[in-house]
Structure 1
Amino acid sequence: MTQGLRRIGGCGLGIVLAIILIISLVAWSLSFLDKPSPFRQLSPVPEDLPPVGGAEVPNIDVEAPGRTADKLTWWSDQLADATSIPAQALRAYGNAELIARQSWPNCNLRWNTLAGIGWVETRHGTYNGNIFHRSSLDENGHPEPPIVGIPLDGTNNTTHVPDSDGGVFDGDTEFDRAVGPMQFIPSSWEHFGRDANGDGVADPNQIDDAALGAAALLCFGDRDLSTPEGWRSAILNYNQSEDYLRKVAAAANSYAIEQPATS
């Protein structure tokens, strides 16, 4: 009888230890999400403001029909592994830089600034608030599952923003919500939304369109992002937070030296 009880107790302890081990392994695995390999030696990140410019985007015909970002595939393939940015998101940022160069020639926007924003906002269309069911960009550049923020109803430190799109983009007919890879609210998208993938629709949930919409917002007011004042003004117009600005700058500078963002 005593032996039987001891066996049962031992088995119970084994199960508990196994559960603890599994939880520890899951926590350890999650700790590496969005982080570079622990075996890679990262270089010190520059603190330049504006950030150092990233790798030059090759000239393509951004006025051609269809999804022009796809013409940057070979360029994005070279950078994706080094930066840990999904190749499709990289192409969207590069495409947006080229379009901005034509549309707002005085802006001097670089793709890695857009990438810095994409990192902080949604980890380039992969973070939706659920670490166990992350999003990924589908073949058409839409996060799956969709990335939709909390209602902007004035609670939880949010601004009160009544619905402006009839729920078309965010599914909420009462309040606006931030949506998509670059986290636009529909009322802002109404002013800055652009079609960059050639389908005739400006969609904040599509990475090419979202990146170009972000470029339009950053360049608004004839800003020059090659100056510290212009860059600061642009980023704070996106999000009025000094902490946000520091994180975007750190990520953009990391991408400039072709390594992953880490904070």
Structure 2
Amino acid sequence: MTTTWRPLPEELDRPPEELDLTDPPVPERRRTALLAASVLAIPVLAAAVSFGLPGTEAVPHPSAQIAPAPIDVGALGATGVAPGAWTPPPTPPAPIPAAAGPVDATGIPGRVLQAYRGAESALGTSAPSCRLPWTLVAAIGRVESDHAGGGAVSVDGRTLAPIRGPRLDGTGGHPFLVDTDAGRLDGDPGVDLAAGPMQFLPSSWQTYGADGDGDGAADVDDVDDAAVGSGRHLCAGGPDLSDPGQRAAAVFAYNRSDAYVAQVLAIEAAYAAGAPAPELPAPVSSAVPGVPTEPGPDALAIAPASPPATPAPAPSVARPAPTTAPTTTTPATTEPTPPVTTAPTPEDADPSPLFGAP
């Protein structure tokens, strides 16, 4: 801005050599006005810098553009989040409520009944010649876990709590089973346990486990998956389960116990007639009366060490016929010697092996 010097009125009569052309005087009023204008301009300029003028774009100062520090990829966790930036996960959602559903005339909770019918449908597609009835799967589910603990499952079919059989560690009359899954399925890294509502041993689940609900996982604690797995076990070997003899053989392969077979088939007949299952007797796999156990496939059925609460009639022992006639020296009034009843020998016991078909 160029400033043009103009003399003041009182300087018009003075000669030029007496005037100071380099520092023109400014009246006091003009100086005060300029000072006030400068003070007022400061906030306006500050606002313009802060918010920008219309049609302009703020450009940060070069010193404010600091390059980010390089990230050490090796310091990141598996999730790709730096350890220092980790924050606790959100509170997990509340458990899905049980979805037992209405109980029909058979006494089976609706959600579990859906799983049994799903197994019949699945095997009807994959093994139609097997003719698997849902009533047979349901009968096994009744014996093994009382239909997943009375229908204690979520809406997606998973049991609200894991169902596990007794530890098969050789105590309490149970067999000893070496661990085969490092506890991945049954939660016990020491020995194997039967797991899930259909009570599969880890080795059997590896063979017959199935994804019954199409969620991409074969879950032994899911009633849909376990029911289809049970159907696959029953249909192994290609039986026709509409034949009574083949049906009994398939159940025996599931749990090698004649008492178990009779129990399952009685319940299956009731379900087929639309009636509730009969009351269950003492667990057929209990080796010691009073010790609760859960029968499982692959045969946890063991001959009881002592008679059960409701023993079956003992086989009659034939009395050997006398080889000679009684001598006359025996008094006629003497009572005959009572026959000796012996305990069943191992040959008299059920020769069934302990474990079902692999």
Structure 1 moving runs of 4+ over 6 Å? none
Cα deviation for residue 156 of structure 1 reads 2.7
Residue type matched to 1:160 in 2?
F
Query: Is 2:206 the partner of 1:190?
Result: yes
Displacement of 1:188 after TM fit?
Answer: 0.7
Alignment match, 1:41: none
1:118 matched to 2:137? no
SS in 2 for 1:250: helix
Task: Give yes or no for the alignment of 1:154 onto 2:170.
Answer: yes
TM-score w.r.t. the length of structure 1 is 0.65
Paired residue total: 180
Deviations 1:46-95 (A, max 9, x none): xxxxxxxxxxxxxxxxxxxxxxxxxxx9xx86xx3211101111010101
Deviation at 1:222, TM superposition (A): 0.7
Indicate the residue corresponding to 1:86 in structure 2.
109
Identify the residue that residue 152 of structure 2 maps to in structure 1.
136
Higher relative contact order (CA 8 A, sep 6+): 1
The 5 Å alignment of 1:242-261 reads 242-261=258-277
Which has a greater percent of helix?
A: 1
Which of these residues, 203, 207, 212, is aligned with residue 223 of structure 2? 207
Cα RMSD after superposing both structures:
1.8
Q: Deviations 1:105-129 (Å, cap 9, x if unpaired)?
A: 11111000000000011100007xx
- The aligned runs of 1:56-95 (5 Å cut-off) are 80-95=103-118
- Per-residue CA distance 1:183-219 (angstroms, 9 max, x = gap): 1111110000000111111111110000000001000
CA positional deviation for 1:262: 2.0
Aligned letter for 2:252? Answer: L
Map of 1:230 onto structure 2: 246
8 A contact 2:145–2:197 mirrored in 1: yes
Give the Cα separation in 1 of the matches to 2:174 and 2:156: 31
Structure 2 gaps, min length 5: 1-98, 280-358
User: What letter corresponds to residue 277 of structure 2 in structure 1?
Assistant: A
Alignment of 1:92-103 (within 5 A): 92-103=115-126
Is 2:190 aligned against 1:174? yes
1:181 Cα offset (Å): 0.6
Q: Distance in 2 between matches of 1:166 and 1:261?
A: 37
- Please, what TM-score do these two structures have when normalized by structure 2? 0.48
What is aligned with 2:328? none
Unpaired runs of 5+ in structure 1? 1-72, 128-134
Equivalent residues of 2:248, 2:265 under 8 A apart: no
Larger Rg: 2
